[in-house]
Amino acid sequence: MADHGIMDVWHYNHPTHIIFHTGAMKRIARVLESQNLDGGVLVSTPHFVKNGYAQAVLDHSEGRILTVFSDVEPNPTVHNVDACAKVLRETGAKFVIALGGGSVIDCAKAAATVCTTNDSIRVYHGTGVELPETHLPLICVPTTAGTGSEVTAVSVLSDPELDKKAPISSKNFYPTYAIIDAELTFSVPARVTAITGFDVLCHAMEAFWNVDHQPICDALGEYALGKVFENLRTAVAHGNDSHARERMAEASVIAGLAFNRTKTTSAHACSYPLTSMFHIPHGEACAMTIDHFLRINKSCQDGRLEKLAKRMFFSSVDAMADDITAMKQEFGLRTDLKDFHVDRKTLDELVAACHHPNMLLNPVEITDEMLYDMFGKMI
């Protein structure tokens, strides 16, 4: 580490080809043709089958897609992945297209790899067993501006029987193509826009202050954060504002590129148990703690968050944190855990479960005492 907290030695590469263009979905046939892909499976949800988006992908693919697998739940489970992999094996799929939010993309990523074995994804989920290097080519068409999963090497899966939600990372998971068509996000309801937009904010912020931050991720994180502060309120209030939707789609993929290299930190570490214990959606779970950690981290890394706040047009880190808190309230996002009547035993479980390895990437050491203090005020 150099004096100002910037790594002296760093590298950056990205294997996913990104197309960002409103209306890009119509170009799918060209992408498939350029990659010589034929005989694929479309992975999506019943929502996109019903609203016609899945059919539009089939039409634009000009006969190159064999069938649609649509049994993916929000916070996809190991069972969704196994069922999807089964269809991929049975149809002899040659590639996979994921059309949906992070849940669909994460399911498709894991299925596109595990289908090359006869295993359940459970063999690899949180067990430390390495995935095989074989996988089907994957094309991701995100419909939310949130996870950035279309450019990351991560798949976040839940195992309902073990009450476990955990990410698996593998370089196999890099999509071959990410086709970002902001028009697909226009139909996202205001509440989901707010939740997914907060996920972008947390990816950008956590990449920026990460102990492993480096110049390219700093630049990407800062750019994405600026777009969120400028556009999220408008995207939530006016879902048909194409400028705000496009800028949020841009922020989402750029924040994905930022945190893919650094990984996430404290807010994401806490989000996993908040989702698995209380079923709080991912972005909302991250949003619950991000302003608290911003205040804890504010003086870290030689004051670079203070400079970031000024470049974001705030007078101080505290003013930036206040604006984040205000946005959560304006959007009606959850700011406490009162509904869940959390007792001492549950609080102990929550604090223990927050010590996900990503917590160690926070620039300030997060102690149990800090977590008890933060969650103590929420219960």
Residue 283 as a binder of ligand NAD (CB under 6 A): the answer is yes
Count CA atoms within 13 Å of residue 101 on its CB side: 28
Closest-CA residue to 187 (of 48, 341, 1): 48
Judged by beta carbon distances under 5 to 8 A according to partner kind, the member of Zn ion, ligand NAD, none in contact with residue 250 is none
Residue 306 as a binder of Zn ion (CB under 5 A): the answer is no
DSSP structure string for 134-178 = ----EEEEESSSS--GGG-SEEEEEEGGGTEEEEEE-GGG--SEE
DSSP structure string for 284-323 = HHHHHHHHHHHHHHTTHHHHHHHHHHHHTT-SSHHHHHHH
Output 75 or 214, the one with its CB closest to ligand NAD: 75
Stretch that binds ligand NAD, among 4-12, 120-128, 144-152, 326-334 (CB under 6 A): 144-152
Judged by beta carbon distances under 5 to 8 A according to partner kind, the member of ligand NAD, Zn ion, none in contact with residue 246 is none
Q: Where are the beta strands (DSSP E) in 181-315?
A: none
Stretch that binds Zn ion, among 3-11, 24-32, 192-200, 317-325 (CB under 5 A): 192-200
Q: How far is the CB of 152 from ligand NAD (least distance, A)?
A: 4
d(CA 140, CA 44): 11
Q: Is 192 helix (H, G, I), strand (E, B) or coil?
A: helix
Output 146 or 304, the one with its CB closest to ligand NAD: 146
Of 149, 289, 301, 358, which one interacts with ligand NAD (CB under 6 A)? 149
Residue 175 as a binder of ligand NAD (CB under 6 A): the answer is no
Q: End-to-end distance of the chain based on CA atoms, in angstroms?
A: 39
Quick note: the x/- pattern for ligand NAD over 220-259, rule CB under 6 A, is ----------------------------------------
Output 5 or 74, the one with its CB closest to ligand NAD: 74
Judged by beta carbon distances under 5 to 8 A according to partner kind, the member of Zn ion, ligand NAD, none in contact with residue 146 is ligand NAD
Q: Is 25 helix (H, G, I), strand (E, B) or coil?
A: helix
Determine the residue with CB nearest ligand NAD: 101
Q: Which positions from 197 through 226 interact with Zn ion, judged by CB under 5 A?
A: 199
Residues 6+ apart with CB under 8 A from 234: 241, 243, 244
Of 106, 181, 246, 250, which one interacts with ligand NAD (CB under 6 A)? 106
Of 7, 26, 38, 74, which one interacts with ligand NAD (CB under 6 A)? 74
Judged by beta carbon distances under 5 to 8 A according to partner kind, the member of ligand NAD, Zn ion, none in contact with residue 106 is ligand NAD
Q: Is 19 helix (H, G, I), strand (E, B) or coil?
A: strand
Of 58, 131, 184, 342, which one interacts with ligand NAD (CB under 6 A)? 184
Contact 334, 284 (CB under 8 A): yes
Residue 156 as a binder of ligand NAD (CB under 6 A): the answer is yes
d(CA 169, CA 165): 13
Biggest alpha carbon–alpha carbon distance for the chain: 59
Residue 185 as a binder of ligand NAD (CB under 6 A): the answer is yes
Query: Per the structure block, which two tokens stand in for 371?
Result: 């977590």
Residue with tokens 């929550």: 350
Residue 140 as a binder of ligand NAD (CB under 6 A): the answer is no
Distances (CA, A) of 143 to 196, 287, 290: 11, 20, 24
Q: Is 43 helix (H, G, I), strand (E, B) or coil?
A: strand
Contact 214, 176 (CB under 8 A): no
Residue with tokens 């590129």: 257
Determine the residue with CB nearest Zn ion: 199
Judged by beta carbon distances under 5 to 8 A according to partner kind, the member of ligand NAD, Zn ion, none in contact with residue 273 is none
Of 61, 113, 143, 297, which one interacts with ligand NAD (CB under 6 A)? 143
Residue 284 as a binder of Zn ion (CB under 5 A): the answer is no
Q: How far is the CB of 113 from ligand NAD (least distance, A)?
A: 13
Q: Which residues sit at the interface with Zn ion, rule CB under 5 A?
A: 199
Q: Which residues sit at the interface with ligand NAD, rule CB under 6 A?
A: 45, 47, 74-75, 100-104, 106, 143-144, 146-149, 152, 154-156, 184-185, 187-188, 192, 196, 199, 282-283
